Structure 1
Amino acid sequence: MAQVVNGEKASMSSYSRQNRFKNQDSMADIKSSNCDETNMGNSSNEHTSKGRVTWNSHKMKSMRDSTRLGSSLHGTNLSTLMTNTNYGIVVGIEITNWTKYHLTEPKTKTYSGYISTPAVSVRPGHKEAMIVHKHGYTMTGSSGIVSWLIENKKRRIAIVWKSPYFRSNSVGICVTTVGNETQDDSWFNVISNKQQDEKLKYKFSTFSDTSDEIMIEDNDFQLFGSMGTSSKPEVKITLRPTMTHDLSITKPQ
């Protein structure tokens, strides 16, 4: 797993670094947006249906209750993993997979900072975490890209994060087109600079004062992302299907 050091310039902006370090917010209260549709429940018939998933409050609760912790989160949680990493800037990325497809072959490249907890594969109906942080004794932050292959779909999802020392946090979420199964290092610049690329469907947002979710979707998937505004932000990512037959099937724990 390559790590590339590229120290970010410590140029001050109008953003208050003091407030950022004080605002050690948790993203635990950030919820995925709900659709104003009819309550469908979580019956077995729903999984065999060919229709679209109705993402109402009942469905969201059912999926959250049935989501299981993967190997990186056994006996711990994202906040604890971040607390145990003693650096001024720590980014915790938690990804939840509500599809029936295994997210495999994680690839990560950092442009500043280090990886302390590497990305792992994410099974259907599970969540996993990775932790990255700044270099010690430097006024730099953490930035990079991580992606997973959607098994049997010949495409990837990718996450770009930037947590500079003096500026606001940013995150990008991306779904590739079919046939793009290998991470391309150019994706980081394409997404963070908002460049055109027909192989990528993405959204990139800066989080200065609020942590509102961003979302992209196509005929198969919806990808949600949010990021905290502090110097130790939590990035929450959720991949969910648009069709009921692509839902993960797990029982509440």
Structure 2
Amino acid sequence: MTEEQEQQENFYRHSTVIVDVTKESLQQLIEYYLTNQGITYEDFIRKIQHDLYHLCYNYYPCCSCPTGTPPHSKGSRVIYPPQLALFIDSAGVKLPCHNPTSKSAPNCCCPVKGNITIQELDVTLARVILINFLVPPSSVDRKAVDDLVKIRNESAHAKKGKMSNEEYNQSIEQISKSLLVIAKIYGKETETRQRLYEVCRQPFNTAIYLELQTILLQQIEKDDELKQIKLMLEQLTKDQDNIPGESVSIENLLDGVTAVPGSSLGNNTLSSIMPRNYHVVFGIEVENLTKYKLENSETYLTSGEISIPASDIRPGYKEAMVATKKPYWPAFGICGIVSWLISGCNRRLVIMFTLPWPAFLNYIKYTNKLSVGISDVGITEHDSKWHKTMKKLNNTYPGLNFKTEEYINSTRPVKVADETFQLSGIMGTGHQIEAKIVFKPNHVDNLAQNLKQTVLMSQSYK
């Protein structure tokens, strides 16, 4: 590795810590404070909606200003309209307090967006929420939050996307101290140390590198001191306007686009992590191409044992689960179901699988089966009854849209779709097999951010 490549990797890993790890830490700090207050994130935004609005529009009072003077009127604008749009629905029905004749009428008294999540906040907005509404003045976590944002801003001065080893090591040490101060508050110091360890040793990934460049470019638009790196990033992310918008279908745009391997896979393939000293082995790989995290997994097996458990799947990542069956009586194979909560959507992604004992394989009653399903909005709890229902072909179950396919002598994809998502899968016909599941949105606006950049680059060459 040349010195230039090493410095590029330093910048890449440092940017990952700044953009991803810092963001996750601030998001968890917000969750900690809201949990202590006993309030949901959506209700909290409703509570602070008036003040939040005037962090953006602070020249004129709105319909809810009791004194005729808006909050923050003496300060400069803290957030901008595109950022405020993450919280409020400007196209929604105005609140009852709205006065159409007020000077701020076009934008004030809008309802809070439904199904908003903390995970939508970037570092800048997370800091705004924490500093203005949650973190006590002069507290250690307030200082840590400000230090992290300061380091983020200073890190963008790195010329040509490179950092020397000395700069990198000094900055990572400072960031780690602040992150651990925050992690201690919400009780996840060990997890934070592990996350930092993994990120600082991760291999270079072009897709994520481009994503980080795009994010940094967006963050420096308000800072005139960052013009040098801005020019570099503009060149690397040219033709950004060619990204398909909300009305553009996802079909044919994701050719060759794959998710980033998560912690359960690392640098390995699914096949390489599957043990082979069992009569029946089933490995499942789930790609999450959406911007929504798959979390709170639940697994129910009627036969078999879990070798590698299901885990949360971050946007743009893929994770694995492996089940096995020991070679002794009773002679049953692997049968079960696994599901994840689609964060922020109040729905669950569901996968059912059956692999019979080898001696029974291909009998009419005992065949390999794979079923994929997505629950209706509002169904967020795992239901073990799904397993029995999804095993049957052409079956239905209230509140669950699913399809089931048999795998006897051929392999055919199984797929379900609605107006928002598509879920497809395929598996083999033997008794030591893999299944590949792909969860993707119908429109590019719901695509994982790192994959949006890959689509952008592929479109720019067409």
TM-score by length of 2: 0.43
Residue by residue over 1:154-183, the C-alpha shift from the partner in whole angstroms, topping out at 9 and shown as x without a partner, is 000100000001122101000000001010
Hey, what's the Cα distance between the residues in 2 that align with 1:156 and 1:189?
A: 17
Residue by residue over 1:11-40, the C-alpha shift from the partner in whole angstroms, topping out at 9 and shown as x without a partner, is xxxxxxxxxxxxxxxxxxxxxxxxxxxxxx
The answer on 1:223 being equivalent to 2:423 is yes
SS in 2 for 1:187: helix
Hey, what's the Cα distance between the residues in 1 that align with 2:404 and 2:242?
A: 33
The question of whether the paired residues in 1 share the 8 Å contact of 2:370 and 2:414 is answered with no
The answer on 1:174 being equivalent to 2:361 is no
The question of whether the paired residues in 2 share the 8 Å contact of 1:174 and 1:203 is answered with yes
The answer on 1:53 being equivalent to 2:273 is no
Letter in 2 for 1:248: A
**Count of equivalent residues:** 205
1:71 corresponds to which of 263, 278, 282: 263
Kindly report structure 1 stretches of 4+ aligned residues shifted beyond 4 Å.
43-48
Hey, what's the Cα distance between the residues in 1 that align with 2:281 and 2:374?
A: 25
Q: Residues 104 and 212 (structure 1 numbering): CA distance in 2 closer, same or farther, change over 3 Å?
A: same
Shift of 1:198: 2.4
Structure having the larger proportion of residues in helix: 2
- Same amino acid, percent of matched pairs: 33
The question of whether the paired residues in 2 share the 8 Å contact of 1:47 and 1:249 is answered with no
The aligned residue for residue 152 of structure 1 is 344
The question of whether the paired residues in 2 share the 8 Å contact of 1:112 and 1:135 is answered with no
The question of whether the paired residues in 2 share the 8 Å contact of 1:99 and 1:247 is answered with yes
Letter in 1 for 2:295: T
Hey, what's the Cα distance between the residues in 2 that align with 1:117 and 1:50?
A: 37
Letter in 1 for 2:293: H
Hey, what's the Cα distance between the residues in 1 that align with 2:405 and 2:280?
A: 19
Q: Residues 123 and 141 (structure 1 numbering): CA distance in 2 closer, same or farther, change over 3 Å?
A: same
SS in 1 for 2:321: strand
The answer on 1:141 being equivalent to 2:333 is yes
Hey, what's the Cα distance between the residues in 1 that align with 2:350 and 2:243?
A: 26
Shift of 1:121: 0.5
Cα RMSD for the two superposed structures: 1.6
Residue by residue over 1:93-142, the C-alpha shift from the partner in whole angstroms, topping out at 9 and shown as x without a partner, is 00000000000001001110100000001011111000001133132200
Shift of 1:46: 6.1
The question of whether the paired residues in 2 share the 8 Å contact of 1:221 and 1:241 is answered with yes
Structure 1: runs of 5+ lacking an equivalent? 1-42
TM-score by length of 1: 0.77
SS in 2 for 1:60: coil
Hey, what's the Cα distance between the residues in 1 that align with 2:240 and 2:389?
A: 41
Larger radius of gyration: 2
2:354 corresponds to which of 155, 162, 174: 162
2:443 corresponds to which of 231, 243, 247: 243
The aligned residue for residue 129 of structure 1 is 320
The question of whether the paired residues in 2 share the 8 Å contact of 1:172 and 1:205 is answered with yes
Hey, what's the Cα distance between the residues in 2 that align with 1:221 and 1:141?
A: 31
Hey, what's the Cα distance between the residues in 2 that align with 1:174 and 1:123?
A: 19
Structure 2: runs of 5+ lacking an equivalent? 1-238, 362-366, 455-462
Residue by residue over 1:44-88, the C-alpha shift from the partner in whole angstroms, topping out at 9 and shown as x without a partner, is 4465711132421x5321x22xx2110000032110111x34201
The aligned residue for residue 53 of structure 2 is none
The question of whether the paired residues in 2 share the 8 Å contact of 1:119 and 1:130 is answered with yes
SS in 2 for 1:233: strand
